[in-house]
Amino acid sequence: MTVETLSKPSVDLAQDHDWWRGAVIYQIYPRSFADSNGDGVGDLPGVTAHLEHVASLGVDAVWLSPFFTSPMKDFGYDVSNYEDVDPIFGTLADFDRLIEKAHALGLKVIIDQVFSHTSDEHPWFKASRQDRSNPKADWYVWADAKPDGSPPSNWQSVFGGPSWTWDARRRQYYLHNFLSAQPDLNVHSPQVQDALIATARFWLERGVDGFRFDAINFAMHDQALTDNPPILSGEGKRTRPFDFQHHFHNQSHDDIPAFLTRLRLLGESYGGRFMVAEVGGERADSEMKLYTQGPDRLHSAYGFLYLYADTLAADLIRQGTAMWSGEEGQGWPSWTFSNHDAPRAVSRWARGRDPKAFADMSLLLLVCLRGNVFIYQGEELGLPQAEVPYDRLQDPEAIANWPETLGRDGARTPMPWVAVAAHTGFSKVEPWLPIDPSHIDLAVDRQERDGDSTLNLTRRVVALRRRLPALRTGGMTLVEAPEPLLVFLRGEGADQVLCAFNLGFEAAAWDLPAGWAIVDSVNLAGEGVLPPMAGLVATRA
């Protein structure tokens, strides 16, 4: 491998180790952010060229989705080289320049680490599949067939079909919880753990400020290969075989926390870098707490409570609040309403209401929640889910489950930068995913000139969170209110903040209690009533 070098950005290890607590973090999906070289795909130089936009939002950090070498079967989440940049995104020198500029702008940089699986083109897997006696023979999860030739267990993959694929060279099955091109690493192996820690160290040496560990609860499996029990209730929509099982044995092994402790110790040796777990599934509540419990595990956990919810209601927020009560020894939550894996919140939740009014209200609500806040690219513009025709779909999950699910492509279409430019300024050529016509009028340049735009609202509410310590790090106490109202307090004493929202479709009677003064609001009209999609933040008068 040829490694380009650039002067490594200086990183002040004496910086506040708790910068992440209550931080606002902006997620960038590099393929769709900005194309600098005219190939229709976003890249790292494109990100670097637009970091001023990100910094202008007032956020604390950026999270970059994978840009590592990959055959792109799952668009970078199938890694074939953990320690290099895929040519479609640029070079290591481009990454170093990105880090340098971000730090100059006061932005931290967090990157994904995909430690549950690799690409089947990774040299580790190519070696492992050769035979049963090579030095990497047990670096992946291999198992013999049952006597009748069927797979070793009944486990089903997230993307459809069995989690096992037969390999004729070893005359065994290998495990893949996702695509068959994404074989699962055997993270039970100390050698595999050492190799993964070495890759994390590689990026820490280049100056990254933290990691998001993708699908980390899939990192270890039940080595007895016990069958998963079926879900007998019949509740919930079933679009994949994966939806028919309780996933007790193919993931969520009891040994995962010990590996996370090793990762946390690595981060601490670099001055305390931020580490957040992505945790999904039916036991996400308990697993997120387990993975962040105490001082020797990860700082925070990133869950799916809001990402796949069909409706934004007060009960949903109450559920999230109850999950993270703030008791002694408990970790710190991270929340997001949209990301690259879920349909955009405006399309899921507006349900016929004015999309801009809803986008504004949801952004104010998001920055008022207790925990870290992740804002997905385009969310600051109020982008709805894009319509992607079947013949333009790229996402393997969307293609496999079409038309039963919206898929992920509609949340991954290019950022609209300039309304009148070709391809809205994202690229000079046709992009890898089409621009939705509804996104053109929401382009950055148009919203910059509109003082009432969602973009400028985002800057305002992020600044509000930074200005009021209670919103950033204070506790959260729910106040009794009739549906569809959501009322809660953040913080304690004189610095306490009152937040009130109408999540419904009709106006509701509500008066601001005596002794409070509104410091910011959205969609508010008059006193004594909260219009639908109205929200306010008040401090003690």
Q: What is the mean pLDDT of the chain?
A: 94
pLDDT at position 36 over 90: yes
Please name the residues in contact with 279: beta carbons below 8 A apart, sequence gap of 6 or more: 216, 217, 287, 288, 291, 301, 302, 303
Q: Which residues are catalytic?
A: 214, 278
Please determine, for residue 308, whether its predicted confidence score (pLDDT) is greater than 60.
yes
Instruction: Identify the CA nearest to 381 among candidates 435, 289, 429, 443.
Output: 443
pLDDT tens-digit readout, 171-227: 999 999 999 999 999 999 999 999 999 999 999 999 999 999 999 999 999 999 999
Give pLDDT, residue 536: 98
Which sign does the torsion angle of CA 94, 100, 104, 105 carry?
Answer: positive
Q: pLDDT tens across 253-262, in order?
A: 999 999 999 9
pLDDT of 13 reads 35
Identify each DSSP E strand in 141-199 by its residue range.
142-143, 164-167, 172-175
Coil/strand/helix, residue 466: helix
| AA letter at 402 | W
Question: What is the DSSP secondary-structure string of 85-131?
Answer: E-TTT--HHHHHHHHHHHHHTT-EEEEEE--SB--TTSHHHHHHTS-
For residue 332, report the phi and psi dihedrals to the nearest 5 degrees.
Answer: -120, 130
Cβ-based neighbour number of residue 322 at 10 Å: 10
Q: Which amino acid, residue 199?
A: T
Supply the pLDDT for residue 55.
98
Question: CA–CA separation, 53 vs 381, rounded Å?
Answer: 12
419-462 tens-digit pLDDT: 999 999 999 999 999 999 999 999 999 999 999 999 999 999 99
- Rounded to two decimals, the pTM is 0.95
User: What are the phi and psi torsion angles at 455 (to 5°)?
Assistant: -60, -50
The rounded distance, in Å, linking the Cα atoms of 239 and 182 is 21
The string of pLDDT tens digits covering residues 90-149 is 999 999 999 999 999 999 999 999 999 999 999 999 999 999 999 999 999 999 999 999
Q: Phi then psi for 442, rounded to 5 degrees? A: -100, 10
Domains and CATH numbers, the chain: 24-120+186-465 (3.20.20.80), 475-540 (2.60.40.1180)
